[in-house]
Amino acid sequence: MNSLNTFNPDAPILPILCILFFLLLPVDAFSAEKTFPFKPGEKITYQLKWLFFPAGKATLEVLPMEKIDGALAHHFRLVVRSNGFVDRFYKVRDRIDAFADKAMERSMGYRKSQKEGRTQREVSVEFDWEHQTARYANFNHIRPPIPVLPGTFDPLSSLYHVRFFDMKQGMKIQRPVSDGKKCVMGRLTVAGREQIRVGGRDFDTWRLLPELKHVGGVFEKSKNASIIIWVTADAHRIPVRVKSRVIIGSFTGDMVSADGL
């Protein structure tokens, strides 16, 4: 794909960072010391690119804890916005709010406001751990509850859950993840350690390769699709770069600022 003339405004290519973060799935066991690698006030901003063209920005934020059904829960937020250039083809205004229990062992709730091109969704997912189910709703359409496995996370909370773990080269990683429509076992491999340069700064990182078996949409339709995620090789495991290759081109999300670390 070498020119803007091949851009398909109906293809679900943005927010690519949101899609990619959904794929960063957590591992089997915590590191020996369960020290929290994040805290309220953390806010990370990413510059999104499609091929070599700026496409928009995304922010990941840890908000103050809230009560869900009387219990304290972590509150995470992802906001993705396409820029003025991309708005002419495929306008994106997305926001996801995810809630995980205080011990970071399972999801408590998930909400997604999705405005991408002609697509609009107002999604909520309720987790009922007494009956071990999740129920998906989009606007006023409510689906029947589905069974979920113990310790299941929603796609966004899984990103924060993975940051607890000490990475090692060759580590195989898995955890159940549910978006309310299905519950799957997400897997990734820690491919190796790598020095990369992002936003004019050098980072010591782990390179992660998520499995795409359960991912649909543009990834399912793309031959040899791939995703690579780089997280810092320190106690915070901060995602500093995400890169994908799909049928409609390559996408990159680079960290440009980080506050509250």
pLDDT for 34: 64
pLDDT value of position 168: 93
Is it the case that residue 8 has pLDDT exceeding 50? no
pLDDT the model gives residue 21: 46
pLDDT classification of 156: cutoffs 50, 70, 90: very high
pLDDT of residue 90: 87
Write out pLDDT tens, residues 186-241.
888 899 999 999 999 999 999 998 876 555 443 343 355 578 899 999 999 999 99
Average pLDDT of the segment spanning 154-172:
90
Q: Residues 33-42: contacts with CB within 8 Å, 24+ apart?
A: 34/164, 35/235, 36/104, 36/164, 37/163, 37/164, 37/235, 37/236, 37/237, 38/62, 38/160, 38/163, 38/236, 39/260, 40/64, 40/65, 40/260, 41/259, 41/260, 42/258, 42/259, 42/260, 42/261
What pLDDT score does 187 carry? Answer: 84
Q: Report H helices in the chain.
A: 16-22, 84-90, 155-162, 217-220
pLDDT in tens, 123-146: 999 999 999 999 999 998 999 999
Q: What pLDDT, on the 0 to 100 scale, is given for residue 126?
A: 97
Cα dihedral value 16, 41, 261, 190, nearest 10: -40
Query: What per-residue confidence (pLDDT) applies to 124?
Result: 97
Kindly indicate the confidence band of residue 11, based on its pLDDT and cuts at 50, 70 and 90. very low
| pLDDT for 249 | 61
Domain segments of the chain as ranges: 4-259
Least confident stretch, 110-119, 129-138, 180-189: 180-189
Mean residue pLDDT of the chain comes to: 83
- Over residues 58-66, mean pLDDT: 96
> What pLDDT is stored for residue 14 in this prediction?
40
| pLDDT for res 32 | 44
pLDDT at 210: 81
Share of the chain above pLDDT 90, in %: 62
pLDDT for position 142? 97
